[in-house]
Amino acid sequence: MEILSNGIFKDGELPYFKDKIAKTGNFPLKPKRLEILQLNLGYMCNQVCSHCHVDAGPDRKEIMTKDTMEQCLEVIKTTKAHTLDLTGGAPEMNPNFCWFVEEASKAGIKDFIVRSNLTIILANKKYYDLPDFFKKYNVHVVSSLPFYKREKTDKQRGSGVFDKSIKALQMLNEVGYAQPGTGLKLDLVYNPSGAFLPTDEKAMEKDFKKALKEDFNIDFDHLFTITNLPISRFLEYLIASENYEDYMYELVNAYNPAAVENVMCTNTISVSWDGWLYDCDFNQMLELKVASDIKHISDYNEETLQNREIIISQHCYGCTAGAGSSCQGSLS
């Protein structure tokens, strides 16, 4: 099976995703009401995870500048989206991270999501107060934790990551996260460590909660399961392990038309570190900008963007396989 440079199958190798969704009247795929503005604050990260579709790491220099952040703030003042979703890399490593959260709060954003890798909290003394900062602005913390056992987590994310993640979760619990009556939300994210789909989200959540509570007295709210898409570092793993063809066929065979209605690209706009606009962060990694005259945050016009068609390709099978997958977990 021939693979193009961006990791997508050559024409004719697999059923086109657009033909699949056309059978249920979903092509062309169009946006619904905008709910989430997702900003990538940079690809710099203190970890190098094997499944990372962003190819983030300590050596990445791409970072959102204060000027671009100010352009984003102008959009935040008028957007109809109710949620600001900050991601990376490790978004906390952006030198203007705290300033931006404070300014976005003043601009009227009430629902903050920060996608934290947890270990950043312990990476350097300047990050030790992040739990208190998150609490102050009622940040919804969404954290990746590959498994509730040390061996699997460290294999996927690096030696020592599990113990640091556990300590960070305990720190978040101590300031009130996932505790009754606080309203402070703490969710975990599970990505499979190999070339397979995640199992049932609710069953996994039950197992995670039981193990983390019994072993470490840790509480969290929900577990999100996210399917790994064949992009960047995970694509390299699939090719190197000779699992790429089988994995793509698995995604296609697990296609669930019911998941199409709620794919994240229909209610989200993704903004890259340099201000370009995308339908989702997977398209961002493939440099597939929105199909609109408005392509940069500096020219942002929500009404115009709502009339666009969403760009799709073969990697979109990953979001519609099985129970479906989004940044908020399973779709059905």
| Contacts of residue 199, Cβ cutoff 8 Å, sequence gap at least 6 | 225
Is the pLDDT confidence value at 9 over 60? no
Strand-pair category, 83-87 with 111-116: parallel
Give tens-digit pLDDT for 51-93.
788 889 999 999 999 999 999 999 999 999 999 999 999 999 9
Is the pLDDT confidence value at 6 over 60? no
Task: Give me the pLDDT at residue 7, please.
Answer: 45
Judged by DSSP in three states, 161 sits in: helix
Q: How confident is the model at residue 210 (pLDDT cuts 50, 70, 90)?
A: very high
Task: Please state, in angstroms and rounded to a whole number, the distance separating the CA atoms of residues 114 and 223.
Answer: 15
| Contacts of residue 85, Cβ cutoff 8 Å, sequence gap at least 6 | 36, 37, 38, 39, 113, 115, 268, 327
Task: Give me the pLDDT at residue 50, please.
Answer: 77
Q: Identify which has the larger pLDDT, 312 or 13.
A: 312
Judged by DSSP in three states, 289 sits in: strand
Domain 33-255 homologous superfamily, CATH:
Aldolase class I (3.20.20.70)
Amino acid at 121: I
Q: Length of the chain, please? A: 332
Q: How confident is the model at residue 12 (pLDDT cuts 50, 70, 90)?
A: low
Whole-number percent of the chain with pLDDT over 90:
84
Task: Give me the pLDDT at residue 193, please.
Answer: 78
Give tens-digit pLDDT for 256-314.
999 999 999 999 999 999 999 999 999 999 999 999 999 999 999 999 999 999 999 99
Whole-number percent of the chain with pLDDT over 70:
96
Judged by DSSP in three states, 102 sits in: helix
Q: How confident is the model at residue 214 (pLDDT cuts 50, 70, 90)?
A: very high
Judged by DSSP in three states, 312 sits in: coil
At CB < 8 A and 24+ separation, what contacts does 20-23 make?
Answer: 20/255, 20/257, 20/317, 20/320, 21/257, 21/260, 21/312, 23/257
Buried residues in 72-107 as b, exposed as e (16+ CB within 10 A): beebbeebebebbbbbbbbbbbbebbeebbebbbeb
Task: Please state, in angstroms and rounded to a whole number, the distance separating the CA atoms of residues 21 and 317.
Answer: 10
Task: Give me the pLDDT at residue 52, please.
Answer: 84
Strand-pair category, 277-278 with 268-271: antiparallel
Q: Six-digit token pair at 234?
A: 């995970």
Q: What is the DSSP letter of 54?
A: S
Question: 216 near 169, Cβ under 8 Å?
Answer: yes
Question: 130 near 120, Cβ under 8 Å?
Answer: yes
Q: How confident is the model at residue 218 (pLDDT cuts 50, 70, 90)?
A: very high
Q: Which of 246, 278, 272, 265 is nearest to 319 (CA)?
A: 265
